[in-house]
Amino acid sequence: MSALQGIRVIDVGQLVQAPQAALLMADMGADVIKVELPGFGDQARWIPAAAGHTHSGYFEGCNRGKRSITLDLRMPAGRDAFLRLADSVDVVVSNFKPGTLDEWGLSYEALSARNPRIIYATGSAFGPTGPDAAREGADLAGQTAGGLVSTTGRDGTDPTPVGATIADHMASQHLAAGILAALFVRERSGRGQRVDVSLLGGAIWAQASEYTAFFLSGVVPGRANRGHPLINGAYGILPTRDGYIAIVGVPAPAKTPFLEAIGMPALFEDPRFASPLLTPDNKQTLFDLLTPVFRQKTTAEWSELLRAAGVRYAPVRDYAAVAADPQVWDNGYIVKVEHPTLGSISAVGSPLRMSETPTDPSGIAPELGQHTEEILLEIGFAWNEIEALRTSGAI
């Protein structure tokens, strides 16, 4: 048995925000139906994995285990088919610009009038109300407008975004959480509801500690400067002979072994470093002293020494190094799946472990419109109706 067995979801999203929320539900066992524009599909299909590659990492990575139906929601026949489909599902999840589905006659009010149990979950760039509600945006807008980019990199350098669609991802997790909570409430009330999240709200929520520090002190925390602006201890990234490694704090029992490992047994006797909470200037001085020491050994050598000393650490790795780590395979964070054209490929697995209702990340992303006829037949369309939809261009 899976956690969401029997739950049906319409994913009418684009790129990451809504599709990844629906993906999490698919991994939990929900039947997720991907609604896409005929002849074009989700925009994610058009972002190649690499130059000249025929598959999209964005689409494959966010749409595993779903079924695809093509419907042109701008056409009355496509809209009416969508309404019939929505009558039979539990959740609709989307991330169109606010008002788009309303313009097509597919508002929450329209769907809930037909299906009062439906949960209508929408993601936007800046939120559903306010002066910027109608503005379009994408991941970078969430990172920048939400203040995240102001925290990355070092003082005196240009702003640098996170090199992943992190604002989209954070919003997708909030969207999934809201949907699951709404499903739980529906079990008691019998009614669905609307759920709204945004890239802006998700980015701010992810920085709740840092924003709260600002609210309390009036001081903007500032940039990471290879660690964290509010954590002034042995916490940051150091260069090694062949790469970089992060020191993630030195617990009290590990202090002496750490000093022995770096060959500086008297370092913390210096009054500047005696306290575990350093001033920003003293932290900078500490890392200036540690930098030439760490350059003398490789990342692998430091990993062994720091592990033996009981110091919290992690090497700075690229995707290839992460994918070679048995730890991620043992926990199912990366898995092997069988693809009909690519054969056995690696895929990002589920981050969830559930003892009684395990997740299943073994599905693959569908071809555009692969399940159109199958889904229409399931909801009561006759073959002549399907042919009429095809002739009109609605599917």
Structure tokens at 34: 């991907």
Residue 332 lies in a domain: no
pLDDT digits (tens, 9 = 90+) for 116-171: 999 999 999 999 999 999 999 999 999 999 999 999 999 999 999 999 999 999 99
Domain that holds residue 14: 8-206+365-392
Q: Are residues 189 and 248 in the same domain?
A: no
pLDDT at residue 54, rounded to an integer? 87
pLDDT digits (tens, 9 = 90+) for 168-205: 999 999 999 999 999 999 999 999 999 999 999 999 99
pLDDT at residue 280, rounded to an integer? 87
Q: Rounded to two decimals, what is the model's pTM?
A: 0.94
Neighbours of 241 (CB within 10 A): 13
CA distance 25 to 65: 10
Q: Are residues 166 and 250 in the same domain?
A: no
The domain spanning residue 276 has which CATH number? 3.30.1540.10
Q: Are residues 71 and 154 in the same domain?
A: yes
pLDDT at residue 193, rounded to an integer? 98
The domain spanning residue 93 has which CATH number? 3.40.50.10540
Q: Are residues 99 and 59 in the same domain?
A: yes
Q: Are residues 13 and 140 in the same domain?
A: yes
pLDDT at residue 311, rounded to an integer? 95
Final residue in a domain of this structure, among 316, 331, 353: 316
Residue 35 lies in a domain: yes
User: What's the structural domain count of the chain?
Assistant: 2
Arithmetic mean of pLDDT over the chain: 95
Q: Are residues 18 and 127 in the same domain?
A: yes
pLDDT at residue 375, rounded to an integer? 98
List the chain residues with pLDDT less than 50: none
Q: Which residues contact 167 (CB under 8 A, 6 or more apart)?
A: 139, 140, 141, 142, 143, 146, 148, 199, 202, 203
Reduced to 3 states (helix: H, G, I; strand: E, B; else coil), residue 334 is strand
| Amino acid letter for position 94 | S
pLDDT at residue 216, rounded to an integer? 98
Final residue in a domain of this structure, among 276, 293, 316: 316
Token pair 């990172």: residue: 143
Residue 337 lies in a domain: no
